[in-house]
Amino acid sequence: MSTKDFIEKDFYKVLGVPKDATEAEIKKAYRKLAREYHPDANKGNAKAEERFKEISEANDILGDPKKRKEYDEARALFGNGGFRPGPGAGGGNFNFDLGDLFGGGPQGGGGAPGGFGGGIGDVFGGLFNRGGPGTTRTQPRRGQDIDTEVTLTFTEAIEGATVPLRMSSQAPCKACSGTGDKNGTPRVCPTCVGTGQVARGSGGGFSLTDPCPDCKGRGLIAEHPCLDCKGSGRAKSSRTMQVRIPAGVTDSQRIRLRGKGAPGERGGPSGDLYVVVHVDPHPVFGRRDDNLTVTVPVTFTEAALGGEVKVPTLGGPSLTLKLPPGTPNGRTMRARGKGAFRKDGTRGDLLVTVEVSVPKDLSGEARDALEAYREATAGEDPRAELFEAAKGA
Ligand SMILES: [Zn+2]
Ligand SMILES: [Zn+2]
C-alpha cells in the first residue's frame, strides 16, 4: 500500500464507525463485518473477498491505538484527497511546493512532523528528511581560513619562534546571539523559505543553488536589526593566539597552520591559518637556501701566508677557520652544519667568504716592512697576463 493510498482510504467508513469510535466499538464493528464477508462464507465471491481485505486492513490500523493515532494525524495534515495544505495537527504548517520537496522545509513551528512516530514517521521519512528544516543552516560549517602576516627577526626565522598573532575573524554576534535581530526573534526569509539558498536559473537542475540574495544565505531576516551587527548576525571577533612558526622559514614565505583559523560552527572543523612571514635582515649573516652566509675580513698577510681566522656563527660559539696560504680575495669556504635548520632538523652550512682588507693608515714599522716587500717583488708584474690576453682575440 502506497503512502497516498494509505491516507486516501477512509478506514472509519470501511468499518462503518464514527471518527470518535471507542476501541470496543471498532472491535465490535470489525467482528461483525469479518463474519459477514469472510471468504469461507462467500466462496467464489470476488467482491466479498475484496471487501474482506479492506475490512482487515482497516482493522489493522484502527484496531491498534498507536497506528490509529498516526493515521488520524496524517489524515488531519494531508486531508483525505492526497497532499494538500491542511491545518497543522501536530507538526506545524506545511505548504507543499517544489521548494519544500527539493529544498528544505519551513523554519518555524518545528518543521518536521512532530506528531509522527514509528510507523507513519517511517513511511514519510524519505519525503520529509530530504529537505528538513533549515538543512543548510544546521549542518556543521568549517571555520574560515585566515590570512595574516608576521615579521620575524633573522634569528627567529632560522630557529623557529612562537609569536603572538592577533587575528580577527567573523563570529556570531554576541549581542543578538547571531540572530541579527535585537529581540532575538528573526523572521524566516520568505524568499528561500529559510533554506538560505535559491535555485539557480530555471534549467531544472535542482542541485544548482545560489545563496539567497534577500537573507544573504542565512535563512532569516531581522525585523528589528541588531544595532551591534546591523542585522547581519555576524561580528568581528579579535583574539590573540600563540602561533609556532617552524624553523627555517624564509622571507615572503607563506606557511599554512592547519586548524588554526577561525573556529567552525556547530561542531565543524576550524579553518586554516595562512601566515606570510617577513624576515628582518641580519647585520652580519645572510641566507642562501638552507645555508647562511657571512663575509669575514682577513688581512693581506693572513691571505698570503695562511692562518687561523675566527668566524662568528648565528647563536653559537665562534669557530676557527684554517686559511691556507695564498687564499685569494673573495674565496668562499664552507663550515658544515652551521647553517639554517631544515624541516628534518638537520642544518645547512655556513658559507664564509674572505675579504682581504686593505689598511688605510700604516704605522712607520709596518710601512717600512711593506716598502721592503715592494722592493723584494719589484720584478713581478701582476697585469702582464691581462695585457697579453687583451691583445689576442
Ligand atoms: Zn532567504
Ligand atoms: Zn547582532
Note whether 26 and 17 are within 8 A (CB).
Answer: yes
Among the bound ligands, the one closest to the CA of 179: 2
Q: How far does Cα 59 stand from its chain's mean position?
A: 54
Question: Cα(170) to centroid of ligand 2, in Å?
Answer: 12
pLDDT at 119: 33
Question: Confidence band (pLDDT; 50, 70, 90) for 338?
Answer: very high
Which is it for the CA torsion 134, 135, 138, 144, positive or negative?
A: negative
Note whether 55 and 31 are within 8 A (CB).
Answer: no
Per-residue pLDDT of 266-324, as tens digits, reads 778 888 889 999 999 999 999 998 899 999 999 999 999 999 999 999 988 999 999 99
Per cent of the chain over pLDDT 90 is 25
Query: Does the pLDDT at position 218 exceed 60?
Result: yes
Query: Does the pLDDT at position 86 exceed 60?
Result: no
Question: Cα(97) to centroid of ligand 2, in Å?
Answer: 33
Among the bound ligands, the one closest to the CA of 225: 2
Predicted TM-score (pTM) of the model is: 0.47
Per-residue pLDDT of 106-134, as tens digits, reads 333 333 333 333 333 333 333 333 333 33
Rounded Cα distance between 162 and 147, Å, is 17
Q: How many residues are there in the chain? A: 393
Among the bound ligands, the one closest to the CA of 195: 1
Rounded Cα distance between 350 and 340, Å, is 8
Q: In the predicted model, what is the mean pLDDT of residues 58-80?
A: 77
Query: What would the DSSP string read from start to end of 49-108?
Result: HHHHHHHHHHHHHHTSHHHHHHHHHHHHHHTTSSS-----SSS-----SHHHHHS-B-ST
Q: In the predicted model, what is the mean pLDDT of residues 53-65?
A: 87
Q: What's the chain's average pLDDT?
A: 78
Note whether 260 and 273 are within 8 A (CB).
Answer: yes
Note whether 36 and 51 are within 8 A (CB).
Answer: no
Question: Cα(93) to centroid of ligand 1, in Å?
Answer: 19
Question: Cα(106) to centroid of ligand 1, in Å?
Answer: 12
Question: Cα(221) to centroid of ligand 1, in Å?
Answer: 8
